[in-house]
Amino acid sequence: MHVIGAGLAGLGAAVALADAGRKVTLYEAAQHAGGRCRSFYDAELGCRIDNGNHLLLAGNRAAMAYLERIGAIDTVIGPGEPAIPFADLSTGERWTLRPNEGRLPWWILNPARRVPGTDAGDYLKALRLRSATADATIAAVLDPESVLYRRLWQPLAVAALNTGAEDGSARLFWRILVETLGRGGAACRPMVPREGLSETLVDPALAWLAARGTDIRFGARLRSFAFSDKHIRELQFDDHTIALDPDDAAILAVTAPVAARLLPGLTVPDDHAPIVNGHFRCALSPDAPLFMGVVAGTVEWIFRKPGVVSVTVSAADGIVDEPAEALRERLWRDVAAVCGLAEAPVPPARIVKERRATFRATPLQLRRRPAASTDWNNLRLAGDYVETGLPATIEGAIRSGFTAAASLIPRRSQWMPSVETFGAAHRPDSIGKTGPVRRGALR
């Protein structure tokens, strides 16, 4: 089995195939794995940082199963309960969203658990999303003037979809709510890597794959395929060609533009939104929250990491063209206000701009998402742009890898850790109640 691309979709596919006993060769054009989800040493800051900021939830079945399989489940940490803190820079208010553990959402009846200025009826109005048309946007279904929209629905939508609520798909946002709040607070318990993205999601997978005989090849850029009789017959790299045996198959786990270049006639999302991340060399108190949502600021999320404060701005069209120095000061003002720090001097910082971070989750772009299957019998697609029922997230990328792998292995002949089986026994209430998740917490 050949997996082209060592981002999270490709790593997920390779892990699933290797776990099922298949011999896997994993190719990556770059000299590192992880794609957009990795860590690196920043010489200017003199420390290791993540290229982006990502939040996992206990209910992310594919991601949790992936971490369990590669032995990295104890590398994520989080609060001992489903709790998401927020700060509103326009009013100075702070609160913590606290869904109850079970599926019956009695928490919306408790003012101490919900967003200030809202009542239970406001949350029930989100049920309108369930019957939204394929062309409906979030702002067309939910009231943009409501307090709940401004303080919860809009921040969640932008973070999950990397698309403004005025353009984002109402149906896709409903799917997000179904898989999170709809499954109860136990599925909403947030988690972040204890050290970094690579230490949690990438390095353990590479070690696990290598231990099982996976041939991992960096600097291997696929130039083209050779096709014949509804099959791919060759993988043509820049400096060599690999002929496929009759029973060989491949999973193409590259970005949407690269996939469209390699596969004639493939339709993929072609409108992408930027994300801006800021990393400040500054240590917060160990008592500070691991992360916090910010309302009415430029910054949307603040993450406390070892020796670093990181911030994220999704759907960042309005600021992505600003010079890094101006962004450094602008983003730090929000951090200082939320964390009670001085505005000056601004600590050393690295601004990371991803101009084409993910596809825009608009109704139009969703119609361009391809399935995992292709016109070629021995080729599957994986990637966060592939149709998974989820936006371009860690969970969606890993799920796409599992789905592609599952379709290439007959379930009746050998056990296959697909999304359904790999995470079927996952119990969100067992995750991260006190610090790190214990190995063996997932069965």
Q: Tell me the three-class secondary structure of the chain, residue by residue.
A: CEEECCCHHHHHHHHHHHHCCCCCEEEECCCCCCCCCCEEEECCCCEEEECCCCCEECCCHHHHHHHHHCCCHHHEECCCCCCEEEEECCCCCEEEECCCCCCCCHHHHCCCCCCCCCCHHHHHHHHHHHHCCCCCEHHHHCCCCCHHHHHHHHHHHHHHHCCCCCCCEHHHHHHHHHHCHHHCHHHHCEEEECCCHHHHHHHHHHHHHHHCCCEEEECCCEEEEEEECCEEEEEEECCCEEECCCCCCEEECCCHHHHHHHCCCCCCCCCEEEEEEEEEECCCCCCCCCEEEEECCCCCEEEEECCEEEEEECCCCCCCCCCHHHHHHHHHHHHHHHHCCCCCCCCCEEEEEEEEEEECCCHHHHCCCCCCECCCCCEEECCCCCCCCCCCCHHHHHHHHHHHHHCCCCCCCCCCCCHHHHCCCCCHHHCCCCCCCCCCCCC
Residues pairing with 305 in the sheet = 308
What is the mean predicted confidence (pLDDT) over 172-181? Answer: 95
Domain boundaries, the chain: 2-40+61-77+194-268+365-430, 103-183, 272-359
Give residue-wise pLDDT tens across range 30-49: 999 999 899 999 998 999 99
Q: How confident is the model at residue 411 (pLDDT cuts 50, 70, 90)?
A: low
Give residue-wise pLDDT tens across range 78-124: 998 999 999 999 999 999 999 999 999 999 999 999 999 999 999 99
pLDDT of residue 114: 96
pLDDT of residue 169: 98
What is the mean predicted confidence (pLDDT) over 159-185? Answer: 96
Is the CATH code 3.40.50.300 the one for domain 272-359?
no
Percentage of the chain exceeding pLDDT 90? 88
| For residue 430, pLDDT beyond 80 | no
pLDDT of residue 80: 84
Predicted model pTM: 0.91
Q: How far apart are CA 104 and CA 173, in angstroms?
A: 20
Distance spanning both ends of the chain, measured CA to CA:
27
Q: Which two tokens stand for residue 195?
A: 């050290």
pLDDT of residue 140: 98
Q: Are 405 and 416 in contact (CB under 8 A)?
A: yes
What is the mean predicted confidence (pLDDT) over 68-82? Answer: 94
| For residue 346, pLDDT beyond 70 | yes
Buried/exposed code over 58-72 (b: 16+ C-beta within 10 A; e: otherwise) = bbbbbbbbbbbbbeb
Q: What topology does CATH give the domain 2-40+61-77+194-268+365-430?
A: FAD/NAD(P)-binding domain (3.50.50)
pLDDT of residue 409: 85
pLDDT of residue 115: 98
Percentage of the chain exceeding pLDDT 70? 92
C-alpha Rg value of the chain to the nearest Å = 22
